[in-house]
Structure 1
Amino acid sequence: MDLDQHPLTHLRRQHHWSMNDLARLIRAEARRRGLRSGVDRNRIWLWEAGGTRPSEESQLLLAGVLGIPAATVECLGWPGWLPAFEEPAPFSPSGSRAALREVQVTRMDRRSFLVLSSSALVDIAADWARIEPRHLGQALDGQMVDEELLRWLEQRSGELRALTSGPHRQVSGLIDAHLSTAVDLIAQDRYTAAVGRRLHAVAAELAHCAAWLRFDAGLHADAQRHWQAAVHAAHQAGERDLAAVALSDLAYQATWLSRPDDAVRVLEHARSRTRTPAARCLLDVRRARACAVLQDRQETQRALASAETELERIRPQETPPVVSWMSVADVNADAGRCWLDLGDPGRAGAAIDAGLGELQPRRSRTRAVFLTYRAEGSLHGRDTWAAAADARAALDTALDSGAARCIDLVRALIRRTDGRTEQPMVELREYARERLAV
């Protein structure tokens, strides 16, 4: 983004709105709320020129057009609450350091939008797919990175990754502290090329874990920054599968937030440099999910078939830790989600049943998501008792995990039962009110 350009100008151009277009949208939002607004093209021009700032009412109307919560407007003020996008760092040693430093900055996270535009998100994947990592520079004179500390960080990063699948509330702070240490060591630039690769691998692992914890908490902008940092650090470490998985996580987030076109394009680039069947299996499943949302049955089936082929080729001893969890449970349950999106609840139910049956007990957040999918399938099949039972179990599991993303997913499903008078649906809503009030 041009730093001299007003965030509103940048935002408007991202949406391909003229000033007249935006003024009309604001007036329409006012009518929807039973209000009147005099915003016109000239008013928009004054806001962007910086000569005047919109009134509180106009800001709330603009926020309504953009889907931004009023609380965000109040907290961040004008123009800080506008979702202007950030520019990605280049894939160079200095660019990667800049991306890593970004995750050390404490920010007010805007939950309702992302910081990377569609084009920037795809550009990150395309750049990574064609650029080989440069050799890290030789260590500078002075104190070198301590080998004992580096080994300790490597061991701790693996242990912290294992903890992220459970309900450990303090793990996020521990990961952030270790990541900050790794980033500081990288910034000192006092290490050999081999040590530099190990340091970047540690930073990539920790940034990747931190991103998922933020995604689960609904902090989407911060999750994007951490995944982007993970891609950069993995690139400098020569860890192709880790970089590809982090890119696929950005694609998964895009699908989750109704940007499946972005996901498909990112995954095409990310898959081009994977090394192991487990990584390719994961990327194929995520491509299938995005294609199903786009209602592309043929591409969905092709991606699922490829995922199953890669699944059979997985050898645990050759699989990197970042994707060691990939299993038949994930392929089956995500295939079920695809069939739900494509309007085949019967086939979906069988696949999700198989996935839940194979899922490891410690993966509570994944279980909450899969149970929500199965409940949705039962609703489509008009089995209200089964839907209510799975929705209750999903809500309990999500609440126990503390993952806001999973809780919101179950809530959205339960809200869809509003107005339904069947006994299981009435009892489900009452149960949800009691649990969510705690």
Structure 2
Amino acid sequence: MDEKPLHPLAAAREALGLNRVQFAERIQAAAKRRGLRSGVTNTRVRKWEVDSVEPDDLSQEYIAEALEVDAPGPASAPWPHWLPGAGGRDRPHGGVVELGSTTTVPALREALQATMDRSRRVVVSAISSTALLGLAGAWAHAEPHPPASKGGQIAPLAPGDDLLTSLEQATNLFTSQPTEARQHTAHVLTALLTSVSDLLEEGHHRGEARRRLHVLAAKLSQELGWHRFDTYRHEEAARYWIGGLHSAHALGDSDLGAGILSDLAYQASWRNRPEIAAHILRRALTRTRHPAAQSLLQLRLARALAVRGERGATLRALAAADHLLGAPCADPVPDWCKWMSTADLAVDSGQALLDLGDTRRAHQLIREGQAALPAARIKTYGVFQIYQARSYLELGEPEQAAAAATEALDLALRIGAPRCVQLVRELTPRFGHFPTAEGVPELLARTAA
């Protein structure tokens, strides 16, 4: 007898790592936020999943909120077909292209189409947390492709590859621009990725040449994802990173794939979804090999766990990140995490400790890390300044906090980093407790503009 397929609600719930009791609690919380009360229990959730009982319209609204997707409207598919992952065999993860041997081009096309839609003022559809968790789980359990050449580096140039060589040179040029210039390069990078996607789709390049195209696709997708993330175009950022994940999968580069998943996790943390970030990072760590890559993922995991108040797990992740950074390895450090340094370890460890309430130790680490940061990483310096401002506020030193936040704001405006501007603005309510402190009135006036 064939096994009964998993109900779409059960699949979506399990992708979030929730049992029925926890899911019912989320539904109750959704009702409470509206000033209402829901009597949904794990027994009711079981009836929806096992007995095919259809929830009423209000319960479906709560279910959508619990799954972090848009609530069903008049134009939506009926229950349960509007649920993430219920909409078709080619999109089992709620609108995310499933990993496979020939899925890179469709995933890249979706990212490029999202950019085109945005330029036409068309709303870009969001990717649910359920979809991201499903993709991360699929990647963690996918049959790996034979690995590409060691380190995923671009191979020596071959005769007759003039166009491919030109694309490599242009990609290296425009992904290595100074921070101040990157705000002006997004259109060029998009055009380069379009050309790479076209060549992959044509299928004329085989063997080493095709591998080089996948390396370019992954590099461009990751760069464009960060550009979109920095400019608050989160749906586009996620789609670019997913496109890059498909290329990493095609390359058989598990470290690169884990790194791109960790970018998606970082975005989840930024959007106040630390539980999603932690789930993605734990899946990514199952296939991460290089110590430097493992260190970065452990550090990002610590940040997510600290927000959740999981002190013991946070400290274990920080200890692992410290131990792994600089650990000997015969293979070169992957390109995507070469920037990781003791300065990053110190500052992000300080941020995690700040979330745990260890203010003085956190402040010391942030100061040490900021002092060790290379001058070329100017945007990171601005972010670190904001962290420094937060730690000064925790210590009750508003003048120093205002000075650090003002410097960060000036830098962010100069280099075109709206994400850093927003970080400063998010601190301003706390400056309201010190309205007459030196520098505070001026900072509040500027961030209110």
> In the alignment, is the contact (CA less than 8 A) between 1:254 and 1:263 conserved in 2?
yes
Alpha-carbon separation, structure 2, partners of 1:168 and 1:368: 16
Structure 1 residue 322 displacement after superposition: 1.0
Alpha-carbon separation, structure 1, partners of 2:406 and 2:231: 20
Match of 1:101 in 2: 109
Match of 2:443 in 1: 431
Assess, with a 3 A threshold, how the Cα gap between structure 1 residues 378 and 135 changes in structure 2: closer, same or farther: closer
Residue from 126, 147, 160 that aligns with 2:174 = 160
TM-score by length of 1: 0.76
Match of 2:335 in 1: 321
Structure 1 residue 302 displacement after superposition: 1.0
Residue from 206, 209, 215 that aligns with 2:223 = 209
Alpha-carbon separation, structure 2, partners of 1:354 and 1:113: 42
Structure 1 residue 296 displacement after superposition: 1.1
Structure 1 residue 274 displacement after superposition: 2.0
Residue from 227, 232, 238 that aligns with 2:241 = 227
Alpha-carbon separation, structure 2, partners of 1:111 and 1:335: 37
Match of 1:92 in 2: 100
1:362 aligns with 2:349: no
Alpha-carbon separation, structure 2, partners of 1:213 and 1:357: 26
Alpha-carbon separation, structure 2, partners of 1:339 and 1:433: 30
Assess, with a 3 A threshold, how the Cα gap between structure 1 residues 342 and 128 changes in structure 2: closer, same or farther: same
Q: Which moved more, 1:152-161 or 1:228-237?
A: 152-161
Assess, with a 3 A threshold, how the Cα gap between structure 1 residues 23 and 209 changes in structure 2: closer, same or farther: closer
Structure 1 residue 151 displacement after superposition: 2.0
Match of 1:304 in 2: 318
Once the two structures are superposed, what CA deviation does each residue of 1:141-180 show, in whole Å capped at 9, x if it has no partner? xxxx961211222233233222264443221111111111
Match of 1:127 in 2: 138
Alpha-carbon separation, structure 2, partners of 1:380 and 1:317: 42
Once the two structures are superposed, what CA deviation does each residue of 1:296-350 show, in whole Å capped at 9, x if it has no partner? 1111111111111111216697112211101011000000100110001101111
Match of 1:71 in 2: none
Alpha-carbon separation, structure 1, partners of 2:226 and 2:355: 24
Gaps of 5+ in 2: 1-11, 17-21, 37-55, 77-81, 85-93, 148-158
> In the alignment, is the contact (CA less than 8 A) between 1:111 and 1:218 conserved in 2?
no
Alpha-carbon separation, structure 1, partners of 2:160 and 2:83: 41
Count of residues paired in the alignment: 386
1:389 aligns with 2:389: no
Match of 1:198 in 2: 212
Once the two structures are superposed, what CA deviation does each residue of 1:114-157 show, in whole Å capped at 9, x if it has no partner? 4132x321221221122234579xxxxxxxx9612112222332
Aligned amino acid, residue 372 of structure 1:
I
Match of 1:251 in 2: 265
Assess, with a 3 A threshold, how the Cα gap between structure 1 residues 281 and 415 changes in structure 2: closer, same or farther: same
Alpha-carbon separation, structure 1, partners of 2:401 and 2:330: 36
> In the alignment, is the contact (CA less than 8 A) between 2:214 and 2:248 conserved in 1?
yes
Alpha-carbon separation, structure 2, partners of 1:316 and 1:435: 49
Alpha-carbon separation, structure 1, partners of 2:180 and 2:334: 20
Assess, with a 3 A threshold, how the Cα gap between structure 1 residues 27 and 356 changes in structure 2: closer, same or farther: closer
Once the two structures are superposed, what CA deviation does each residue of 1:266-315 show, in whole Å capped at 9, x if it has no partner? 11121222232221111011011011111111111111111111112166
1:337 aligns with 2:351: yes
Aligned amino acid, residue 106 of structure 2:
A
Once the two structures are superposed, what CA deviation does each residue of 1:81-117 show, in whole Å capped at 9, x if it has no partner? xx99642212113322211110120223899994132
> In the alignment, is the contact (CA less than 8 A) between 1:339 and 1:345 conserved in 2?
yes
Alpha-carbon separation, structure 2, partners of 1:410 and 1:337: 15
Aligned amino acid, residue 117 of structure 2:
R
Assess, with a 3 A threshold, how the Cα gap between structure 1 residues 365 and 23 changes in structure 2: closer, same or farther: closer
Q: Which moved more, 1:397-406 or 1:253-262?
A: 397-406
Alpha-carbon separation, structure 2, partners of 1:338 and 1:189: 46
Q: Which moved more, 1:84-93 or 1:380-389?
A: 84-93
> In the alignment, is the contact (CA less than 8 A) between 1:196 and 1:237 conserved in 2?
no
Match of 2:151 in 1: none
Once the two structures are superposed, what CA deviation does each residue of 1:6-33 show, in whole Å capped at 9, x if it has no partner? xxxx99xx9979xx9899789759xxxx
Assess, with a 3 A threshold, how the Cα gap between structure 1 residues 230 and 322 changes in structure 2: closer, same or farther: same
- CA RMSD of superposed structures (Å): 4.1
> In the alignment, is the contact (CA less than 8 A) between 2:133 and 2:279 conserved in 1?
yes
Alpha-carbon separation, structure 2, partners of 1:432 and 1:384: 12
TM-score by length of 2: 0.75
1:264 aligns with 2:278: yes
Assess, with a 3 A threshold, how the Cα gap between structure 1 residues 112 and 335 changes in structure 2: closer, same or farther: farther
Alpha-carbon separation, structure 2, partners of 1:84 and 1:107: 24
Alpha-carbon separation, structure 1, partners of 2:298 and 2:433: 38
Assess, with a 3 A threshold, how the Cα gap between structure 1 residues 286 and 24 changes in structure 2: closer, same or farther: closer
Alpha-carbon separation, structure 2, partners of 1:394 and 1:24: 40
Aligned amino acid, residue 107 of structure 1:
D
Assess, with a 3 A threshold, how the Cα gap between structure 1 residues 113 and 310 changes in structure 2: closer, same or farther: farther
> In the alignment, is the contact (CA less than 8 A) between 2:389 and 2:400 conserved in 1?
yes
Alpha-carbon separation, structure 1, partners of 2:379 and 2:330: 23
> In the alignment, is the contact (CA less than 8 A) between 2:145 and 2:249 conserved in 1?
no
Once the two structures are superposed, what CA deviation does each residue of 1:372-428 show, in whole Å capped at 9, x if it has no partner? 11111111111111111111111112222212211111111023222533322xx32
Assess, with a 3 A threshold, how the Cα gap between structure 1 residues 254 and 111 changes in structure 2: closer, same or farther: farther
> In the alignment, is the contact (CA less than 8 A) between 1:90 and 1:96 conserved in 2?
no
Aligned amino acid, residue 323 of structure 1:
C
